[in-house]
Chains A and B, each alone.
Chain A
Amino acid sequence: MDNLTALDRLRRLLAIIPWVAAEGGMSLEAVARRFDYPRDDLLEDIWFVVQMIGVAPFGPGDMLEARVEDDWVHIEYSHWFARPMTLRPEEVLSLLAAGQSVAEFSIGDELGPLGRALTKLSAMVEPEVRDAIDVRLGVADDELLKALQQARADRRIVEIDYYSYGRDELTTRVVEPHGLTADMGHWYLSAHCRMAGATRVFRLDRVSRYAVGDEVYPEPTSPGAGPEGFLAGDDYPEVELLLEPSVRWVITQYPHHGTEDGDGEGLRVRLPVASTAWLERLLLRLGTAATVLEAPEGLGLDLRSFAAARVLARYGG
């Protein structure tokens, strides 16, 4: 890490001092590596900061002793820092939540050390609190998730029936799974899609059938795209909407930019449009609480009207 701030260094030193003292010394390299402290900064901070720690009147016996000899760090008389600061309850719960979430989707017997770490961490909080945080990473069929993890591990192709929300169509594809990701409540498979001839990201709750094949595919050369890459780049057309206060939630759910309060009229926002079906749904749901201020041809109010008419046709309208 470059350019550690004074607080970054303070956090690290408050942990380093008790550790080095308890170990009876540590190599400079080991401290730098374990505490992500650039070696030169560490050396400088030991000489010019740690050596000068003490309490008034700063006489002999009031100062901590720190030195570096042959790339070996010694720290003594550091009784104020006999132990590192303990974890805050909120830090324990956050680590437990992350660990338990990983345990939930892991396959095989990889849980050994993680399971033990979670047991030890749990002991730090009251028993009733241990299960107070409950994370369900995403909606997905457990069998499908495990099957895809296994197919990824064995590098086997998978045939899926997939409903494309953006294009509103059902297709059957053969894919080479690269990775699985849970993002903001949904599980995604990133895979090479043989139909598209490129990497695609699939949401697992839109896979209606799957079959793992026997064919083994070659190791992918590039990492798969994650869902965060969905709307990266400037390749998508944009619409500008004016949102009434009741539908401001749009900005908490969709990528957007150029947010601006429109002088008491509502909120102006620009949204990238990855597919027309997506925009149709959004505009129909928002109704007249959203006004299209600017849109490329075919993505404005006429799009909304046609979509509304199409849905109405189903109701005999």
Chain B
Amino acid sequence: MVESKLRRLMNLVTALLHAECPKTRDELRAGLREYYAEDDASFRRQFERDKDEIRAMGIPLITGFAPDTDPPVTGYRIDRSRYRGDLPDLTPDELAALHLANNLVRLGDAPSDDPFWRLGGRPDESEVAAVARLPGEPALRDLMDAIAERRTATFNYHGVERVVEPHRLAFRNGHWHVKGHDRTRGGERQFRVDRFESAVERGEPGGCERPQKASGVEDRPAWRYGDDEPLTARLAVDAPHVPWVLGHLGEAGVVDRLEDGSVIIEEEVCNREAFRSFVLTFLEGAEILGPRELRDDLIRWLEGMAWTT
């Protein structure tokens, strides 16, 4: 079973690479008769599946009208120049270092050896434990592709379909963010990839412009994005939490350091719900000092729960 499928796919890829112009499904079938079912419907289903699998491997299968067909019939071939593009000429030690890095920093669960087959095989057999693991969001691959080939990326976000020209991908605070020009809303926007509400649909290669220098992904905490009227919150944070807070928010917001090691920070809040959630992660280790509005909001929130038993 595995062997006959492999033989069929290998010969299909060979025929598609050999083709100088698009070959119709039936022309391809004529050359591969022994590998496909005789029954027309089964053949078509099988051929469609094979085509999808070849495409999913990244093989540049292109379609066009086959010559001398009237009415025109769709034909297929592999774009040889794209298939045989350059590969970096890596020395064995460079290949080994890259392989190690790819195993140390894992996007998603399993490192992919696939690119390494094409770079000359796996340089070593040793299994290394990952040093870093990053969430492998399903959309990442499409976004990387879109950035590299200047394609648009279309996805649903906050209930709206966005068409975005992606410029930059960044991993910050445990999440992937993409930044680019949002054609739907107009202007530069940043999106969190794990909040996409649909798969990414990629546009055509070269379908958008890329700025000379893409601006960096901003590392703003969630409460600085939002539509609430901006307020400046004063927050007292007890000593045990200070390294964590400063690691995340930086020193810029610190307005006072007290003798007991605690700090007072000021933060601009445009999303009160997100700020409340942040403050509650400290339990009684932090206190909103002001403004009154934010402090009262937190007190009301807690009172709603303190009385529910």
Note all chain B residues with C-beta closer than 8 A to A124.
Answer: 86, 88
Distance, CA A9 to CA B13, complexed state (A): 13
Q: Is the beta-carbon distance between B9 and A6 smaller than 8 angstroms?
A: yes
Note all chain A residues with C-beta closer than 8 A to B131.
Answer: 102, 105, 179-182
What 0/1 pattern do residues 208 to 231 of B give for CB contact below 8 A with A?
001111101100000000000000
Given A117-B90, A163-B241, are A287 and B284 neighbors across the interface (CB < 8 Å)? Answer: no
Q: Is residue B299 within 8 Å, beta carbon to beta carbon, of the partner chain?
A: yes
Note all chain B residues with C-beta closer than 8 A to A128.
Answer: 210-214
Distance, CA A205 to CA B155, complexed state (A): 34
Q: Is residue A48 within 8 Å, beta carbon to beta carbon, of the partner chain?
A: yes
* Smallest CB gap from B32: residue in A: A56
Note all chain B residues with C-beta closer than 8 A to A141.
Answer: 243, 247
Q: Is the beta-carbon distance between B93 and A113 smaller than 8 angstroms?
A: yes
- The B-contacting residues of A in range 112-157, CB under 8 angstroms, are 112-114, 116-118, 120-121, 123-126, 128-129, 132-141
Note all chain B residues with C-beta closer than 8 A to A64.
Answer: 14
Stretch at the interface among B40-48, B65-73, B100-108, B263-271: B100-108
Stretch at the interface among B170-178, B183-191, B251-259: B170-178
Minimum CB–CB distance for B109 against chain A, Å: 10
- The A-contacting residues of B in range 266-304, CB under 8 angstroms, are 276-277, 280-281, 283-285, 287, 295, 298-299, 301-304
Note all chain B residues with C-beta closer than 8 A to A5.
Answer: 2
Distance, CA A118 to CA B98, complexed state (A): 8
Note all chain B residues with C-beta closer than 8 A to A307.
Answer: 283
Q: Which residues of B contact A (CB under 8 A)?
A: 2-3, 5-7, 9-11, 13-15, 17-18, 30-32, 53, 57-59, 82-91, 93-98, 100-102, 104-107, 112-115, 117-123, 125, 129-135, 140-142, 144-145, 147-149, 167-175, 194, 210-214, 216-217, 239-244, 247-248, 276-277, 280-281, 283-285, 287, 295, 298-299, 301-309
Q: Is the beta-carbon distance between A305 and B308 smaller than 8 angstroms?
A: yes
Minimum CB–CB distance for B193 against chain A, Å: 11
Q: Is the beta-carbon distance between B170 and A136 smaller than 8 angstroms?
A: yes
Minimum CB–CB distance for B211 against chain A, Å: 8
Q: Is the beta-carbon distance between B105 and A183 smaller than 8 angstroms?
A: no
By secondary structure, the A interface counts as helix
Note all chain B residues with C-beta closer than 8 A to A180.
Answer: 131
Distance, CA A202 to CA B210, complexed state (A): 42
Q: Is the beta-carbon distance between A90 and B107 smaller than 8 angstroms?
A: no
Q: Can you list 11 A-B contacts (CB < 8 A)? A: A53-B10, A56-B15, A85-B83, A94-B141, A95-B115, A97-B105, A301-B308, A302-B309, A305-B307, A313-B284, A317-B302
Q: Is the beta-carbon distance between B305 and A304 smaller than 8 angstroms?
A: yes
Q: Identify 11 new A-B residue pairs, CB closer than 8 A, beyond the known A53-B14, A223-B129.
A: A7-B53, A13-B6, A31-B121, A49-B10, A86-B82, A124-B88, A133-B144, A136-B173, A226-B129, A285-B277, A311-B283
Distance, CA A146 to CA B157, complexed state (A): 39
Among B88, B277, B299, B303, the residue within 8 A (CB) of A121 is B88
- The B-contacting residues of A in range 65-104, CB under 8 angstroms, are 80-95, 97-99, 101-103
Of listed B98, B102, B112, B304, residue having the most chain A CB within 10 A? B98
Among A83, A170, A186, the residue within 8 A (CB) of B240 is A170
Q: Is the beta-carbon distance between A113 and B94 smaller than 8 angstroms?
A: yes
Q: Is residue A267 within 8 Å, beta carbon to beta carbon, of the partner chain?
A: no
- 4 tightest CB-CB pairs across the interface, nearest first? A185-B174, A34-B121, A89-B148, A56-B31
Among B93, B100, B107, B117, the residue within 8 A (CB) of A12 is B117
